[in-house]
Amino acid sequence: MQPTLKFIAVLTFVQACTGFAWCVEDTDRAVDADVVLRGGTIVDGTGEPQYQGSVAVRSGKIVAVGAFALGKVGQVIDCQGLVICPGFIDLHNHSDHTILSPATKDASCYLTQGCTTLVTGNCGGGPIDVAKFYDALTAQGVGVNIAHLLPHGSLRSKVVGKSRAPPTDAQLEKMQQLADMAMREGAWGMSTGLIYVPGSYADTDELVAIASRVAEHRGIYASHIRDEGDALVESVAEAIDIGKRARLPVHVSHFKSVKRRNWGKVRVAAHLIEEARQSGQQVTADQYPYTASSTSIMAMLLSPDEREGGNQATAERLKNAAEALRLRPIVAEALAARDKMMIASSKQKPDWVGMLIREVAVAERCEPLDVAMEILLDASAQGVNFSMAEADVRFVMKLPWVATASDGSSKIDDGSRPHPRSYGTFPRKIGRYAIQENVLPLEAAVRSASGLPADILGMTDRGYVRVGQAADLVVFHPDKLEDRATYQEPFNRSVGIRWVLIGGQFAIADGELTKAMAGRPLRHGAELR
List contacts with Zn ion (CB under 5 A). Answer: 123, 224
Q: Give 56 or 258: the residue with its C-beta nearer to Zn ion.
A: 258
Give the shortest CB-382-to-Zn ion separation in angstroms: 13
Q: Assess contact for 145 and 212: CB atoms under 8 A.
A: no
Helices (H) and strands (E) in the chain, counts: 17, 20
Q: What is the 3-state secondary structure (H, E, C) of 34-52?
A: EEEEEEEEECCCCCCCCEE
Give the shortest CB-296-to-Zn ion separation in angstroms: 11
- Tell me the three state secondary structure of residue 201: helix
Give the shortest CB-132-to-Zn ion separation in angstroms: 24
Q: What are phi and psi of 203, to 5 degrees?
A: -90, 175
Single-letter residue type at 426 = F
Measured CA to CA, the distance from residue 106 to residue 110 in angstroms comes to 9
Q: Give 123 or 146: the residue with its C-beta nearer to Zn ion.
A: 123
Q: Give 224 or 417: the residue with its C-beta nearer to Zn ion.
A: 224
Q: Give 279 or 303: the residue with its C-beta nearer to Zn ion.
A: 303
Give the shortest CB-231-to-Zn ion separation in angstroms: 16
Residue 350, Ramachandran bin (φ over 0: left; ψ between -120 and 50: alpha; else beta)? alpha
Sheet holding 145-148, edge to edge: 88-90, 115-120, 145-148
Report the relative pairing of strands 340-345 and 283-287 from DSSP bridges.
unpaired
Q: b/e for 158-177, b at 16 or more Cβ within 10 A?
A: ebbebeeeebeeebbebbbe
Give the shortest CB-98-to-Zn ion separation in angstroms: 16
Q: Give 162 or 256: the residue with its C-beta nearer to Zn ion.
A: 256
**Helix axis angle, 368-375 to 321-336, nearest 10°:** 120
Q: Give 57 or 195: the residue with its C-beta nearer to Zn ion.
A: 195
Give the shortest CB-112-to-Zn ion separation in angstroms: 23
CB atoms within 10 A of CB 130: 25
Measured CA to CA, the distance from residue 412 to residue 27 in angstroms comes to 45
**Per-residue CA distances from 245 to 225, 240, 285, 336 (Å):** 17, 9, 19, 38
Give the shortest CB-371-to-Zn ion separation in angstroms: 25
Q: Assess contact for 207 and 192: CB atoms under 8 A.
A: yes
Give the shortest CB-94-to-Zn ion separation in angstroms: 8
Give the shortest CB-322-to-Zn ion separation in angstroms: 32
Measured CA to CA, the distance from residue 506 to residue 100 in angstroms comes to 21
Give the shortest CB-68-to-Zn ion separation in angstroms: 44
CB atoms within 10 A of CB 79: 23
Cα-Cα-Cα-Cα torsion 334, 222, 249, 395, nearest 10 degrees, comes to: -50
Which residue, among 288, 261, 256, 267, has the nearest Cα to 409 in the 3D structure? 288
Give the shortest CB-410-to-Zn ion separation in angstroms: 17
Measured CA to CA, the distance from residue 276 to residue 278 in angstroms comes to 5
Q: Could you say which DSSP state residue 472 is in?
A: -
Give the shortest CB-45-to-Zn ion separation in angstroms: 25
